[in-house]
């Protein structure tokens, strides 16, 4: 086998390993065991402080009082800072049950 082909295949496989899957909606289980997922392909899902699943366009996190906040941007990130406030790429919005679909 030609050394150039071997090098090309090795590089090609290496590049493929760094490509992220863009369809990775998060799912969560509510307090009665029902699975819900974000209706957005790159959205988030998380339970609130009473066990209800809330979803959003991007990642979702609970703040210090248990409210769910999600990134306003599809696929956007979210994290909780050192004082318990959720910070989101593109700003945050409240997670909503209406942005969830029941898992099948």
pTM: 0.74
* Residue ranges per structural domain of the chain: 22-102
Q: How far is CA 47 from the centre of its chain?
A: 13
36: CB partners within 8 A, 6+ apart: 27, 28, 29, 30, 45, 53, 55, 97, 100, 101, 102, 103
Question: What mean pLDDT is predicted for residues 10-25?
Answer: 52
Question: Above 50 in pLDDT, residue 95?
Answer: yes
Task: Read off the tokens for 104.
Answer: 């099948």
pLDDT-based confidence at residue 10 (cuts at 50, 70, 90): low
């Amino acid at each position: 086998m030609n050394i150039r082909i071997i090098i090309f295949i090795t590089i090609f496989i290496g590049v493929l390993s760094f490509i992220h899957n863009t369809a990775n909606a998060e799912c969560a289980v509510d307090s009665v065991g029902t699975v819900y997922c974000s209706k957005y392909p790159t959205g988030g899902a998380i339970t609130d402080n009473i066990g209800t699943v809330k979803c959003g366009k991007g990642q979702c996190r609970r703040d210090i009082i248990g409210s769910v906040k999600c990134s306003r941007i599809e696929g956007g990130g979210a994290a909780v800072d050192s004082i318990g406030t959720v910070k989101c790429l593109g700003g945050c919005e409240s997670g909503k049950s209406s942005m969830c679909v029941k898992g099948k």
